[in-house]
């Protein structure tokens, strides 16, 4: 009779706990569950509901302990391992979570969520190959799962595997052909693969879905320029500038095209417009300096490279262009100064080391020049420039004796 009374009490408390739990009256539900556990400390139903309640309350440590207690009583129930694995996954206990997910799989509970969580863990610890393996297992169970495919595509992009990223986004586009983001991602992937015409098709499909997205038009123009359709690229870039006359990136792109077709003055106009908008952008200033150099405007180039170095003191490209200009103009002291600065930052910059040697050669400091060329040849014995200049210096030294 006593056992029957206890069973009735347990059932009553459990029912009340469930009702309170569903109504989000968690404290009341908890009180009822602890009444059950006073009578039967191993009551599985009470412990399972308690674990859910504790998770809902944010008491994950206690919930983890309860779930481990349940697993000790039900070793063959895969649901318990999954619940514990999910909890440990959220807590960042990667090793423990994977162990519990593996137990689920061994017990035949191989679902999408488990494989997906395993993939996320492996990605978090930097093991991309295992993350990919888990994702592929998940996709075997649900090959049209968009969340999985997006995650897979992003993983491929992270490791620069654009071929597989392309296949993944092809599958996504089959599921959602009107998704503009998928078309844009596909366009970007195809650009990385240098499939310029295919990329144009992808971006044009995106453009049909949103004609006001100037970024899409910009990428279409870049693709046209990449396979030599310069007139079409220029036309699109200029259209973008009519809509947004402060898009300095488009100005830079236009300047680049005009350089390719030999229209230096037009390129200069666009670089100068871009610089007005981005006065302290070293990338644009550097490109402007190179253009001045190509146009034979050496003083303008020197001033521009110096501006770059005021913004970025260690910009090696600006130093190198500047040093070369000084070398060609026989301003040897300044050339030597900048070549030495470059070498101090990057000792393996062989061109700078050779040009430093040439600088000393031009001012007839033969021993210094020879020392530099010898050091280069110690590291790169086949460097023909260093070898030729070494032999030249040796002849001069020999003739002076």
Burial of 39 per CB tally in 10 Å (0-12, 13-18, 19+): middle
Residue 353 maps to which CATH number? 1.25.40.10
Q: Are residues 321 and 302 in the same domain?
A: no
Asked whether the predicted pLDDT for residue 127 surpasses 90, the reply is yes
Residues contacting residue 172 through CB under 8 Å, at least 6 positions apart: 146, 149, 150, 153, 179, 182
pTM attached to this predicted model: 0.77
Residue 372 contacts residue 360 (beta carbons within 8 Å): yes
Q: Which long-range contacts (CB under 8 A, 24 or more apart) does 62-69 make?
A: 63/87, 64/88, 64/91
What distance in Å separates the CA atoms of residue 362 and residue 357, rounded to the nearest whole number? 9
pLDDT of 301: 97
* Mean pLDDT confidence for 170-195: 96
What share of the chain in percent tops pLDDT 70? Answer: 99
CB atoms within 10 A of CB 263: 15
Q: Give the tens place of pLDDT for each residue, 303-345.
A: 999 999 999 999 999 999 999 999 999 999 999 999 999 999 9
Asked whether the predicted pLDDT for residue 125 surpasses 60, the reply is yes
Q: Give the tens place of pLDDT for each residue, 253-263.
A: 999 999 999 99
pLDDT of 1: 36
Q: Are residues 305 and 368 in the same domain?
A: no
Asked whether the predicted pLDDT for residue 247 surpasses 70, the reply is yes
* Mean pLDDT confidence for 126-139: 95
Residue that terminates a domain, selected from 313, 342, 359: 313
pLDDT of 287: 97
pLDDT of 37: 85
Instruction: Assess if residue 319 is contained within a domain.
Output: yes
Instruction: Assess if residue 280 is contained within a domain.
Output: yes
Residue that terminates a domain, selected from 313, 334, 362: 313
pLDDT band at 2 (very low <50, low <70, confident <90, very high): very low
Q: Give the tens place of pLDDT for each residue, 273-287.
A: 999 999 999 999 999
Q: Which residues of 219-232 are buried (b: 16+ CB within 10 A; e: fewer)?
A: bbbbbbbeeebbee
pLDDT band at 401 (very low <50, low <70, confident <90, very high): low
> In the chain, how long is the greatest CA-to-CA distance?
124
Q: Are residues 280 and 359 in the same domain?
A: no
What distance in Å separates the CA atoms of residue 210 and residue 319, rounded to the nearest whole number? 44
Instruction: Assess if residue 68 is contained within a domain.
Output: no
Q: Give the tens place of pLDDT for each residue, 65-113.
A: 888 888 888 888 888 888 888 888 888 888 999 998 999 999 988 899 9
pLDDT of 359: 96
Q: Are residues 230 and 305 in the same domain?
A: yes
Residue that terminates a domain, selected from 313, 347, 364: 313
Comparing 1 with 24, the larger pLDDT belongs to 24
Residue 112 contacts residue 136 (beta carbons within 8 Å): no
Q: Are residues 329 and 396 in the same domain?
A: yes
pLDDT of 74: 82
Give the chain's domain count: 2
pLDDT of 248: 95
What distance in Å separates the CA atoms of residue 192 and residue 198, rounded to the nearest whole number? 11
pLDDT band at 399 (very low <50, low <70, confident <90, very high): confident
Q: Are residues 321 and 290 in the same domain?
A: no
Domain enclosing residue 397, as ranges = 315-401
Instruction: Assess if residue 42 is contained within a domain.
Output: no
Q: Give the tens place of pLDDT for each residue, 356-373.
A: 999 999 999 999 999 999
Q: Are residues 279 and 346 in the same domain?
A: no
* Mean pLDDT confidence for 141-156: 96
């Amino acid at each position: 009779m006593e056992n029957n009374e206890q069973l009735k009490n347990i059932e009553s408390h459990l029912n009340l706990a469930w009702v309170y739990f569903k109504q989000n009256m968690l404290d009341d539900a908890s009180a009822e569950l602890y009444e059950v556990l006073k009578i039967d400390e191993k009551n599985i139903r009470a412990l399972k509901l308690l674990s859910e309640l504790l998770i809902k309350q944010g008491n994950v440590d206690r919930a983890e302990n309860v779930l481990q207690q349940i697993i000790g009583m039900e070793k063959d129930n895969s649901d318990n391992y999954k619940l514990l694995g999910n909890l440990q996954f959220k807590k960042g206990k990667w090793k423990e979570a994977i162990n519990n997910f593996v137990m689920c799989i061994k017990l035949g509970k191989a679902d999408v969520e488990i494989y997906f969580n395993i993939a996320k863990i492996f990605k978090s610890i930097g093991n991309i190959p295992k993350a990919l393996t888990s994702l592929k297992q998940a996709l075997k169970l649900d090959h049209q799962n968009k969340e999985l495919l997006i995650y897979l595509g992003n993983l491929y992009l992270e490791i620069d595997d654009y071929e597989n990223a392309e296949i993944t986004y092809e599958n996504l586009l089959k599921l959602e052909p009107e998704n503009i983001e998928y078309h844009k991602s596909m366009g970007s992937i195809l650009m990385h693969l240098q499939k310029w015409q295919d990329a144009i098709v992808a971006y044009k499909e995106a453009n049909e879905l949103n004609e006001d997205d100037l970024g899409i038009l910009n990428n279409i123009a870049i693709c046209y320029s990449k396979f030599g359709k310069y007139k079409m690229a220029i036309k699109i870039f200029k259209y973008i500038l009519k809509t947004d006359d402060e898009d300095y990136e488009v100005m830079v792109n236009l300047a680049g095209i005009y350089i390719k077709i030999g229209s230096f003055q037009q390129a200069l106009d666009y670089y100068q417009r871009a610089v007005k908008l981005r006065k302290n952008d070293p990338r644009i200033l550097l490109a402007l300096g190179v253009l001045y150099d190509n146009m034979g405007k050496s003083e303008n180039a020197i001033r521009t490279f110096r501006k770059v170095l005021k913004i970025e003191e260690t910009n090696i490209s600006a130093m190198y262009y500047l040093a070369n200009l000084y070398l060609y103009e026989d301003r040897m002291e300044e050339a030597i100064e900048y070549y030495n600065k470059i070498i101090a930052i990057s000792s393996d910059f062989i061109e700078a080391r050779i040009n430093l040697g040439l600088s000393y050669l031009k001012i007839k400091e033969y021993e210094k020049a020879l020392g530099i060329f010898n050091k280069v040849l110690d590291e790169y014995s086949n460097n023909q420039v260093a070898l030729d200049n070494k032999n030249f210096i040796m002849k001069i030294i020999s003739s002076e004796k």
